[in-house]
Structure 1
Amino acid sequence: MEDTGLRIGDVAERTGLSIRTLRHYGEVGIVSPSGYTPGGFRLYSEADIERIMLIRRMKPLEFTLDEMREFLDAADHPDDPAARETIDRFRTEARARLEKLRRRVGYAEEFLRLAESL
């Protein structure tokens, strides 16, 4: 990719993630820019942004960076039987984590109602 794509600031604004977070993702290897400008600025493609958004959606479910990497690797090869097993395992785990998160949000809402009644 030569001087096409979005720069990191634009990607940060579009995804709601910080520039620091995007750089960290590149450092740990879960998403890297598809290219660089001649001046060395990172350039992200639409596919890169889709991957970043997938990561952002995993964050509230408290998946680790290693778990995210494992899932993303599997998602890159959805027709592979081993990858399908990984995807299915993550789907099951995501459902369980989402239910736990919903319970926690319910507790937080209860607390807020109590605090507001004082």
Structure 2
Amino acid sequence: MPETMHIGELADRTGMSLRTLRHYDEIGLLTPSGRSEGGFRLYTDDDLRRLLVIRRMKPLGYSLEQMGDLLRVLDAADAGETTEARTVLQDFRADAAERRDRLASQLEMADEFLEQLDRI
């Protein structure tokens, strides 16, 4: 088995809470790669990469279901099922770009507001 880390280390490395990681395990979004003899969750670098995908989707407003959908597509691509996966990934990328543009626009408005307040 590859090198593993406990949930606390994974939380530290990602800036996510233990509660969130446990919830992701409960709903099947991020299942640990193994368990210690004492029953503690064990995560690998692959699990860390999956969690970073999830963490990067959160600010764009993706639902847990959508996160799971993308992870399944990434798994399919890793398994060699590239034709359909590539199409779905392109759709996800286009959607993520639109969401990012909306956030950039909101940030511009927030900056304008702050500048307006500074002039008062």
- TM-score when scaled to structure 1? 0.92
For 2:20, the equivalent position in structure 1 comes to 21
Deviations 1:16-67 (A, max 9, x none): 1111111111111111111111111111000000000011011111111111
How many residue pairs get matched? 117
C-alpha separation between the residues in 1 aligned to 2:51 and 2:113? Answer: 33
* Counterpart Cα distance in 2 of 1:115 and 1:49: 41
TM-score w.r.t. structure 2 length?
0.90
Unaligned runs of 5+ in 2: none
Unaligned stretches of 5+ in structure 1?
none
C-alpha separation in 1, matches of 2:85 and 2:70: 8
Amino acid at match of 1:61: L
Aligned partners of 2:116 and 2:40: how far apart in 1?
Answer: 50
AA of the residue aligned to 1:27: E
Question: Does residue 77 of structure 1 match 2:79?
Answer: no
| Identical columns (%) | 42
Secondary structure in 2 matching 1:116: helix
Q: Give the deviation of 1:99 after TM superposition.
A: 0.3
**Alignment pair present for 1:10 and 2:12:** no
Moved over 3 A (4+): none
Name whichever of 106-115 and 10-19 sits farther off: 106-115
In structure 1, the partner of 2:94 is 92
